[in-house]
Amino acid sequence: MSLRLAFMGTPEFSVPVLEALHKAGHEIVAVYSQPPRPAGRRGLELTPTPVASAAEKLGIEVLTPKSLKDRQEQERFSSFKLDAAIVVAYGLLLPKAILEAPRFGCFNGHASLLPRWRGAAPIQRAIMAGDKKTGMMIMKMDEGLDTGPVALSKSIDIAPDMTAGELYDELEKIAAPLMVEAMEKLEQGDLALTPQKSEGATYAKKITKDETRIDWSKPAKELQKRICGLSPFPGSWCEMEFSGKKERVKLLKAKLVDGSSLGVGHVDPETLTIHCGEGRLQITRLQKSGGKAMDAGTFLHGFHVTQVY
């Protein structure tokens, strides 16, 4: 036996879940993803999302509506006569008519330990807040923002210098088997749902441009978490002075260094250790504007940094 499913997702993170459900033998009648976006050097080519590309390879129909609020879209979704819909980082809100159309409802794979970090950027926010643990949760969706009852969960540790990209990769590994297990239990009528507690709820709002600029007057501990939490995308940044001019540099990884600050913005040019408002921070990976990402040692072979801003 198998379930009749629709899959709704957009980034590379969602692809292993789609592929695992297909491999498990479920009938995936449609894949929903964000519309193709301009790409290429001139932005003239429309590129399908990673999920859309994966679905096409599997021979599954791909739908890319800009919204699900339209009545015709809701009727089309209802016409699939689904057992369930699977949502993993889709990027569109699901109206009540969509949530209620499948026989068993819609199930979301969410990258946090709910009710902590409901919302758009749970991976980045967990690191930026200094959380020691996070995980994946499978929940049945309701009309709230990640407020539905939880079916399954699995937690992982967040290492001290882990970046959002590294955590993303670790969560990606556990998302697919967890969703396959949830659908197996759903098919067998054995998927227990536990209501979320309201206590301890936090919201992972979208990352804003204002948050990406590094202010060296802040404590080193806070800045280290910000740099790692925003790496590799969208990336935190500062201006560095070398070769007699200022240039914008993306900061991709950093670690705390023992010792007190000698003054905000003071730089040790041999190690790229930067003195902050409190404490010191060593930049270990970075990317010059227009260049490639590189380790600090390689960067320092070509550039002598005299000041940061």
Q: Give the annotated binding-site residues for (6S)-5,6,7,8-tetrahydrofolate.
A: 112-115
Annotated binding site: 112-115
CA distances from 89 to 14, 121, 168, 235, 236 (A): 7, 10, 12, 20, 23
Cβ(220)–Cβ(256) below 8 Å: yes
Q: Enumerate the β-bridge partners of residue 7.
A: 31, 86
What SS3 state is found at 169?
helix
| Ordered strands of the 27-32 beta sheet | 62-63, 27-32, 4-9, 84-88, 106-110, 133-140, 150-157
Q: How many CB atoms lie within 10 A of CB 273?
A: 19
Cβ(111)–Cβ(171) below 8 Å: yes
Q: Residue type for 127, please?
A: I
Chain position carrying tokens 């550039």: 303
Q: What is the pairing mode between strands 273-275 and 280-288?
A: antiparallel
Cα–Cα distance for residue pair 194/183, rounded to 1 Å: 16
| Torsion angle, alpha carbons of 229, 233, 234, 236, to 10 | 50
Cα–Cα distance for residue pair 153/196, rounded to 1 Å: 12
Q: Enumerate the β-bridge partners of residue 215.
A: none
